[in-house]
Structure 1
Amino acid sequence: MASSAAGPRQRAAVIMNPIKKTDVDIRALVESACRDQGWDEPLWLETTKEDPGRGMAKEALEAGVDVVIAAGGDGTVRCVAAELAGTDTPLGLIPLGTGNLLARNLDIAVDDPEAAVTAALTGTDRNIDVVHVTLDRALEGDVFLVMAGLGYDAALMGDTNDTLKDRVGWLAYIDAGVRNLPGKPVKSTIRLDGGKEISGFPRSVMGGNCGKIMGGLEIFPGARIDDGLLDIMTMAPKGRLGWLGVVAGLLRRGKGKGTSVEYYQCKEAEIFTQTPQEFEVDGDHLGKASHVAFRVDPSALRVRMPQGEKDPAILTDPEV
């Protein structure tokens, strides 16, 4: 836990996505909070179109700061986390995006920047899992913290209208979702932990590190962010009313006969598709792939979150 007790003065680095518009002056807010806590003036770094956060996170680590705060959306958080994973430097969050899914899962205020800043400086540290992703056996991969998907959900993310998203927020995803409902399933095979294989014709295959999305809906029921496990979900609508079956399967958490939603757990997974499909990680559309490999890196990332008891559906030990 962070402290303002006597001793070496602590310092935060803030990596901010400058295109995120806010009603408050985030920089002034952070600088004021640092003064109040007896911290040094923060190191301020801004992302660019060419570098959405990784280079800035490396610079922050080289500066030896005590916490690196990602101020932006899920994409900024993911890029900063990719560099902090495997280090002892905690990640703080100031949610400024549309989804802010990691913040929602960790009970970090998504509509109160002052509370988020306070948590980033004075909160408690917990280690969470990071999931590594490789597309089409590339030499370099990526990571995600919340969820990734191949198929329908990725097409939805890639087709979301940015102007509409700036205007109406997460409702823009509904618009894209409706427009992408038509489509044909693709033959796919999922290999779990190098052994068991599941074949079928899903519209979407998703991997989850934690479960909650907007509105408190649990896409991956029971998916805890620190259990060392990856949750896999498939959506396979059947017939003219197939998507109603998917909705029912989500509400029933995959239980019951004839469900269009199936769940699995593993530490590693590979997905093979007959033709390349759209792919996304934490809401960032990465293009198309016909082979995706997931690997969990347990407890790889230290995250600073508000003090107090946490949701037992998200963390294996809710007491902090």
Structure 2
Amino acid sequence: MPDASPEATPDAVPAVPDTGSRSRRAALIINPIKVTTVDVQGAVQRISAEEGWEDPLVIETTEDDPGHGQAQEALDAGVDLVIAAGGDGTVRCVAEELAGTGTMMALVPLGTGNLLARNLDIAVDDPDAAVEAAFRGTERTIDVVHVTVDRAQDAHVFLVMAGIGYDAAIMSDTRDDLKDKVGWLAYVDAGIRNLPGRPARTTISVDGGRSFERRLRSVMGGNCGKIMGGLEIFPGAKIDDGLMDLMTLAPRGKLGWLAVAGKLFTRGKGKDPSLEYFQCRTAEVTLHEPLEVQLDGDPLGKATHMAFEVKPDSLRLRMPLGYKDPAVVSEPLP
């Protein structure tokens, strides 16, 4: 395992830990409503057999439990690898249970956004390739970010990004029927419909420093940078550097969103206050009125307070072999 300090640069480690003579086993946690032409369970069973592993434990998510209880069941069974097959919600819920346990996680993206998979070069349109990478890919340890909403006792985690305001309104207002028809472009439809609105008074504190105020449409925390369509909204963000990128959106006037878009496409360069970035280990965001909240695309309802804390090197994750984008991991593989 790499040094857990934020300054450490994690190297690739052996894909399969030494378990002596004990037979290894994977668990497949799968969202049964995600339609795919590939038999994901069959692929996991096939590669398990080829690798000399036991027959996998297969657990389906439910409407009432999108992954938490299933991940805990897999941990209780003592499996060596947990594969989350579903959308971003399934991946996040499984990761929330596995973070800090030392148990390996992999993912087979079957959703619309597939945010983490896009950042890690995991095939979003080839479940067979994703299953292959789950067993035979490279292991990394990545950061997770813990988020407390409205000072709740229990924290959630996110792997890619979370936010309050405009971005969360998009997620809560995206039409499921449109996602089935046009995929991630359904988020564009929701984004256009939610462009009108007024900024909210927001107080922000970064790394426990002196708080400052802004009038904002959105505040987002990013663990890595890419979203649908290949757009990188957190330029240079790395998923294993022990840091989070905080972004604020403050479009002004009728052409304000054009200024935001322009700064996004220039990777955040310039001094336009419509889009600001802060890099930190912790952050606290307080609003004077409740706005929508989202974690990795999952809407959580409305809130007025979010507290972020990065937990470095918390999750062991399997990803494809080969060169990695330097904006994703701190040290690319050759």
Alignment map for 1:79-158 (pairs within 5 Å): 79-158=93-172
1:146: Cα distance to partner?
A: 0.2
- Give the secondary structure class of the aligned counterpart of 1:187: strand
Letter in 2 for 1:10: R
Q: Paired residue for 1:225, among 223, 229, 239?
A: 239
Residue of 307, 316, 333 corresponding to 1:293? 307
**Aligned residue identity for 1:59:** E
CA shift for structure 1 position 166: 1.2
**Cα distance in 1 for residues equivalent to 2:248 and 2:308:** 15
Matched, 1:182 2:183: no
What SS does the corresponding residue of 1:227 show, helix, strand or coil?
coil
Residues 144-181 of structure 1: CA deviation (Å, up to 9, x unaligned):
00000110000010000011111110010011011100
Which residue in 1 is equivalent to 2:24? 10
Question: Structure 1 stretch 257-266 or stretch 98-107: which is displaced more?
Answer: 257-266
- In structure 2, the residue matched to 1:313 is 327
Alignment partner of 1:264 is 2:260: no
CA distance in 2, matches of 1:6, 1:183: 60
**Candidates 45, 64, 80, aligned match of 1:50:** 64
Task: Determine the C-alpha separation between the residues in 2 that align with 1:20 and 1:198.
Answer: 43
What's the counterpart of residue 219 of structure 2?
205
In 2, the alpha carbon distance for the partners of 1:123 and 1:63 equals 23
Partner of 1:28: 42
1:252 aligns to 2:299 (yes or no):
no
Q: Tell which deviates more after alignment, 149-158 or 211-220.
A: 211-220
- Contact 1:4–1:38 (CA under 8 A) maintained in structure 2: no
- What do residues 119-156 of structure 1 show as CA deviations (whole Å, max 9, x unaligned)? 10111211000100111111112110000011000001
Displacement of 1:260: 1.4
Q: State the secondary structure of the residue aligned to 1:201.
A: strand
Whichever residue aligns with residue 202 of structure 1, its letter is L
- Name the amino acid aligned to 1:62: D
Rounded Cα–Cα distance in structure 2 between residues aligned with 1:280 and 1:240 = 26
Q: Contact 2:38 / 2:128 at 8 angstroms: preserved in 1? A: no
CA contact (8 A) 1:226 1:315 kept: yes
Tell me the CA shift for residue 199 of structure 1.
1.4
Q: CA deviation at 1:5?
A: 11
Distance in 2, matches of 1:261 and 1:128, equals 27
User: What letter corresponds to residue 314 of structure 1 in structure 2?
Assistant: V
Deviations 1:174-204 (A, max 9, x none): 1101110000000101100111323111101
Using structure 1 for the length normalisation, give the TM-score. Answer: 0.97
Name 2:10's counterpart in structure 1. Answer: none
Q: Secondary structure in 1 aligned to 2:164?
A: strand
1:168 is matched with 182
User: 1:254, CA displacement in angstroms?
Assistant: 2.2
Q: Does 1:61 align with 2:75?
A: yes
RMSD value over aligned CA atoms? Answer: 1.5
1:259: how far off?
Answer: 4.5
Structure 2 spans left out of the alignment, 5+ residues: 1-14
Q: Alpha carbons of 1:296 and 1:257: their partners in 2 closer, same or farther (altered >3 Å)?
A: closer
Deviates more, 1:259-268 or 1:153-162: 259-268
Counterparts of 2:260 and 2:111, CA distance in 1: 27
Separation of aligned partners in 2, 1:270 and 1:3: 38
| Residue 83 of structure 2 is aligned to residue 77 of structure 1 | no
* TM-score, normalisation: structure 2: 0.93
- Flag structure 1 segments of 5+ consecutive residues without an equivalent: none
Q: Indicate the SS of the match to 2:200.
A: coil
Percent of aligned pairs sharing the same letter: 63
Determine the C-alpha separation between the residues in 2 that align with 1:250 and 1:196: 27
Tell me the number of residue pairs that the alignment of Structure 1 and Structure 2 aligns.
320
SS in 1 for 2:44: helix
Contact 1:136 1:292 (8 Å CA) reproduced: yes
> Which moved further from structure 2: 193-202 or 174-183?
193-202
